[in-house]
Amino acid sequence: MKKKDLCSEAAGGGEASSDKVLVAIKGQKKQAILTGCHQDQKPLMPKFDSNNIVLIDENGSPLGTRIHVPIPTMLRKKLTDMSRPKGADYTKILSIATRFI
Protein backbone atom coordinates (compact mmCIF):
# COMPACT_ATOMS: atom_id res chain seq x y z
CA MET A 1 0.00 0.00 0.00
CA LYS A 2 1.32 3.40 -0.96
CA LYS A 3 1.66 6.24 1.53
CA LYS A 4 -0.30 9.44 0.82
CA ASP A 5 1.53 12.72 0.34
CA LEU A 6 1.02 15.52 2.82
CA CYS A 7 -0.79 17.73 0.33
CA SER A 8 -2.96 15.10 -1.32
CA GLU A 9 -6.17 16.23 0.38
CA ALA A 10 -7.53 18.69 -2.19
CA ALA A 11 -11.02 20.11 -1.93
CA GLY A 12 -12.14 18.55 -5.21
CA GLY A 13 -10.40 15.19 -4.81
CA GLY A 14 -7.44 15.22 -7.22
CA GLU A 15 -4.47 17.52 -7.25
CA ALA A 16 -4.24 20.26 -9.84
CA SER A 17 -2.57 23.64 -9.85
CA SER A 18 -4.53 26.39 -8.07
CA ASP A 19 -6.34 23.87 -5.85
CA LYS A 20 -6.83 24.80 -2.22
CA VAL A 21 -5.32 22.02 -0.09
CA LEU A 22 -5.05 21.25 3.61
CA VAL A 23 -1.53 20.30 4.75
CA ALA A 24 -0.08 19.15 8.07
CA ILE A 25 3.06 20.99 9.19
CA LYS A 26 4.59 19.99 12.53
CA GLY A 27 1.25 18.62 13.69
CA GLN A 28 -0.75 21.73 12.76
CA LYS A 29 -3.27 21.96 9.94
CA LYS A 30 -2.61 24.79 7.48
CA GLN A 31 -4.35 25.88 4.28
CA ALA A 32 -2.34 26.26 1.10
CA ILE A 33 -2.67 26.87 -2.64
CA LEU A 34 -1.01 24.29 -4.87
CA THR A 35 1.14 26.24 -7.34
CA GLY A 36 3.07 23.41 -8.98
CA CYS A 37 2.31 19.72 -9.23
CA HIS A 38 4.47 16.70 -10.01
CA GLN A 39 1.74 14.70 -11.77
CA ASP A 40 0.93 15.24 -15.44
CA GLN A 41 -1.10 18.40 -16.00
CA LYS A 42 -3.41 19.79 -18.65
CA PRO A 43 -1.82 21.13 -21.85
CA LEU A 44 0.17 24.37 -21.44
CA MET A 45 0.54 23.72 -17.70
CA PRO A 46 4.13 22.79 -16.78
CA LYS A 47 5.07 19.68 -14.80
CA PHE A 48 7.38 20.29 -11.83
CA ASP A 49 9.93 18.06 -10.11
CA SER A 50 8.10 18.42 -6.80
CA ASN A 51 4.77 19.64 -5.44
CA ASN A 52 4.93 23.37 -4.65
CA ILE A 53 2.51 25.11 -2.30
CA VAL A 54 2.00 28.61 -0.91
CA LEU A 55 0.72 28.72 2.67
CA ILE A 56 -2.25 31.06 3.18
CA ASP A 57 -4.33 32.32 6.11
CA GLU A 58 -8.14 32.44 6.39
CA ASN A 59 -8.32 35.59 4.23
CA GLY A 60 -6.32 34.07 1.38
CA SER A 61 -3.25 36.20 2.11
CA PRO A 62 0.07 34.37 1.86
CA LEU A 63 1.95 33.78 5.11
CA GLY A 64 5.36 34.39 3.51
CA THR A 65 6.86 37.48 1.93
CA ARG A 66 8.42 35.96 -1.22
CA ILE A 67 7.85 33.02 -3.54
CA HIS A 68 11.09 31.65 -4.96
CA VAL A 69 9.70 28.93 -7.24
CA PRO A 70 8.28 29.91 -10.64
CA ILE A 71 4.50 30.10 -10.93
CA PRO A 72 2.70 29.08 -14.15
CA THR A 73 1.18 32.02 -16.02
CA MET A 74 -2.07 30.07 -16.41
CA LEU A 75 -2.44 30.41 -12.65
CA ARG A 76 -2.95 34.19 -12.96
CA LYS A 77 -6.44 33.86 -14.44
CA LYS A 78 -7.44 31.07 -12.06
CA LEU A 79 -6.38 32.98 -8.94
CA THR A 80 -8.07 36.21 -10.02
CA ASP A 81 -11.28 34.27 -10.70
CA MET A 82 -11.07 32.65 -7.24
CA SER A 83 -10.70 36.05 -5.48
CA ARG A 84 -13.81 37.61 -3.99
CA PRO A 85 -14.38 41.34 -3.20
CA LYS A 86 -15.25 40.78 0.47
CA GLY A 87 -13.60 37.39 0.88
CA ALA A 88 -10.29 35.78 0.05
CA ASP A 89 -7.84 37.80 -2.04
CA TYR A 90 -5.52 35.39 -3.85
CA THR A 91 -4.00 38.09 -6.08
CA LYS A 92 -1.48 38.85 -3.33
CA ILE A 93 0.16 35.53 -4.22
CA LEU A 94 0.76 36.86 -7.72
CA SER A 95 2.24 40.12 -6.45
CA ILE A 96 4.91 38.47 -4.27
CA ALA A 97 5.93 35.92 -6.91
CA THR A 98 9.38 36.47 -8.39
CA ARG A 99 9.10 34.44 -11.62
CA PHE A 100 6.42 33.21 -14.00
CA ILE A 101 6.78 30.46 -16.60
Q: Where do the domains of the chain lie?
A: 20-96
The answer as to CATH 2.40.150.20 being correct for domain 20-96 is yes
As a whole number, mean pLDDT of residues 70-93 equals 81
Q: Could you tell me if 25 and 11 are in contact, meaning their C-beta atoms sit under 8 angstroms apart?
A: no
Strand positions, DSSP E, the chain = 20-25, 28-36, 52-56
pLDDT tens-place string over residues 27-50: 999 999 988 887 777 777 777 888
CA distance 24 to 7: 8
Q: Is the pLDDT of residue 76 over 50?
A: yes
